[in-house]
Structures are given as C-alpha cells and as structure tokens.
Amino acid sequence: MPRKNAGENDPQTDEDQTLSFTAEEKHVVQPLFSFILSATYEEKRQLIAAHPELLTPIADAVMARIIEIKHKAGEEQDAHGIQNWREFLADVRSRNFDYALARSSVYRVFVEMPDRPAEWNSYLRGVAHREEALRRKEGDIALDEFAKKMAARVPAVAAAFQGLRSLLKQLEKG
C-alpha cells in the first residue's frame, strides 16, 4: 500500500511509529504485557519479583505510550485499564506490593459502594470481613489516605471510610 503524503495524517503510520521500541525498552515489553494480562494479584506479585524492570521509569514510559495509543484509537476502556495498572506499579515502586494492593482495594470498595448512604454501614461491614488487603498495615494507611482525600469533597464518604478503619481495628483485636 502506498504511503500518504507527508503532510497527511496517517493514523496507522502514527501508531506504527509510536509502537516501535528502543533496544532498552524491548526487554520490558513482554513482562509488561504479561503483568497487565495476568489474572490474579499473586501472579502479578510473582511477575514483579521475577521482572524488577517492571518498576523502572522505562516500563512506565512504555505504558504511557500504550495508553496514548489507546486514547488515539478511541479505546478508552483499555486506556483506563492500563492506566490503573500503571498507577498500581507506581504504588509498588513508591511503597510496596501490599500497599498497591490495599490502595487498589480501597478504590474498588469506593466504586462499588451503594448509592444510598443508609446502606453504607452494612456494605462496609461486609467489606471488613472479605477484603484481606485492608486488614494489613498498608490497608490502614491506604484507607486513611483515601479518607483524608475525600474529607473536603465528600465528608460523609470520608467518615464512612474512617468507620471502616475502626471496624477493621476492632476485628483485628477480637
């Protein structure tokens, strides 16, 4: 197929150029895709342990380019999913895997919260019993950070998450 003139926008050409990797980047591409596509957090933990290059700025830059490609292609759901994994790896880099897992759990709990505040206590009691990642020290840190972040914008949510922290501490003692 002949190439378009240089002045014309050719998305396929743009994508091809964006998807080319330097020699330095190539060694992170396969482990990165394995990480994104792995089915469980335990698999993700093992991949990070086996491939510390997943925690490098190079891996982060590759993910940023992939996200940009997905946005350009109109694949917003894929871009959002990859961005979530990029943030997860950033959390592993900045703290550790357990913190990243806890932070991810906190956001999932928030997204899945019932719309009616009257249902929050019951929902959060169930969360306290089933979310193992929140029962660790890192879970308490992630819950506290989230509650502080929400305090100015949605005080009722902040209070509910502080209540979840208290409930988890009670369960830990009893």
The model's pTM is 0.83
Between 14 and 33, where is the model more confident? Answer: 33
Q: How many domains does the chain have?
A: 2
Does residue 1 belong to any structural domain of this protein? no
Residues 86 and 137 in one domain: no
User: What CA–CA distance (Å, rounded) separates 148 from 158?
Assistant: 7
Enter the tokens of residue 103. Answer: 């932070």
33-88 confidence digits (pLDDT tens): 999 999 999 999 999 999 999 999 999 999 999 999 999 999 999 999 999 999 99
- Assess contact for 50 and 27: CB atoms under 8 A: no
Residues 62 and 118 in one domain: no
Give 5's DSSP letter: P
- Assess contact for 21 and 62: CB atoms under 8 A: yes
Does residue 4 belong to any structural domain of this protein? no
User: What CA–CA distance (Å, rounded) separates 49 from 97?
Assistant: 10
Q: Single out the residue in 47, 70, 94 at which a domain terminates.
A: 94
Domain that holds residue 70: 11-94
Residues 57 and 130 in one domain: no
Q: Single out the residue in 94, 124, 159 at which a domain terminates.
A: 94
Q: Single out the residue in 63, 94, 125 at which a domain terminates.
A: 94
Enter the tokens of residue 83. Answer: 């961005």
